[in-house]
Copies of this chain bind each other. A is one copy, B any other.
Amino acid sequence: MLSFQELSAKFNQTFEAKQFPASPATLYEPGEYFLQIGGKRIRPVLCLLGNELFNEIHSDAYLVAKAIELFHNFTLVHDDMMDEASLRRGMPTVHTKYDSNTALLVGDVMVIRAYECLQNIQASYLPKVLQLFNKTAREVCEGQQLDMDYAKMETVSLEAYIHMITLKTSVLLACSLEAGAIIGGAGENNCRHLYEFGRKLGIAFQIQDDYLDAYGDAAIFGKEAGGDIKQNKKTFLLIHALEVANPTQKNKLSSLLQRNDEDKVQQVLAIFDECGVATWAESLKAKYMQEALAHLEAIAVISDRKKPLIDLANYLMNRNK
């Protein structure tokens, strides 16, 4: 069995090759550019780990892993357009480096390329994997839509936020794991538990992401900290702060959200601190992590095989970027 670092290295190696044909270069060069920016490649590795949990890694798992990473990058290219983000992982986004039309089409062809990877998996698993992939892909779009909808709303409940995050982030992590498991011949019950492990882990992952955006070290994190705060983004942190703040804090927070003071980030963070937001986030993350691990526990394979997944979960929860 391979550890998640080893699988990560293996996946990166196969993913270094060009993912698109050479021509038309005006379409495919921007696509390759974005893929080369990198990223943590967590999803494809989850797919390989999901496969390895039940079996020797099958070459089809690499195809599905690739499909998932391409799909993820498709969403990033388009999300960056919607968010008007100029940087991604410290590098210019596609619509910034090229233009909006290119970014639009690069995203489109990237999702199609993802499906091209799937077409070559063993026919006996194809319908099941395709169904899971499609459902997940649609949910991710729904999550992105809710994210944009919420941005226009004054307040969002924690429940609604978790629903959105589940769609936008968690289900793809869960799908990655389950798709690997399907290729590994896993039964329905095991698939379901692994999916739930991924879904819960995804929520914990987002809590960590929101935390890092507010408290992360810019040099390590790869983007300026406080970006979410500047954009009044409803995050776990802001939603909780608004829920527990006393009237004075709430008023201050509301008025900060309406302005763009130079020290907005510091001032909002000060209120977060007063409200104990960081501690709360840490304990909520731990709760989801625990629930995730309970599902992993319930999977009927010997516990030794689960070690790489536990390692990955711990790595994700303790990462600083």
Spell out A's residues near B (CB within 8 Å): 23-24, 26-27, 74, 78, 81-82, 101, 104-105, 107-109, 111-113, 115-116, 118-119, 123-124, 126-127, 130-131, 134-135, 137-138, 141-142, 144-146, 148-149
Contacts A123-B123, A123-B126, A126-B123 given; does A24 touch B146 at CB 8 Å = yes
Q: Is the Cβ of A112 less than 8 Å from the Cβ of B130? A: no
State A135–B81 Cα separation when bound (angstroms): 26
Contacts A115-B115, A123-B123, A126-B123 given; does A24 touch B101 at CB 8 Å = no
Quickly give the copy total for this chain.
Answer: 2
State A127–B23 Cα separation when bound (angstroms): 25
Chain B residue at minimum C-beta to C-beta distance from A145:
B27
Q: Is the Cβ of A119 less than 8 Å from the Cβ of B112? A: no
CB neighbours of A113 from chain B (8 A) = 138
Q: Is the Cβ of B26 less than 8 Å from the Cβ of A149? A: yes
CB neighbours of A112 from chain B (8 A) = 111, 134, 137-138, 141
Which 6 A-B pairs have CB atoms at the shortest separation, nearest pair first?
A: A27-B145, A109-B141, A82-B101, A112-B137, A116-B134, A119-B130
State A100–B253 Cα separation when bound (angstroms): 31
Q: Is the Cβ of A134 less than 8 Å from the Cβ of B148? A: no
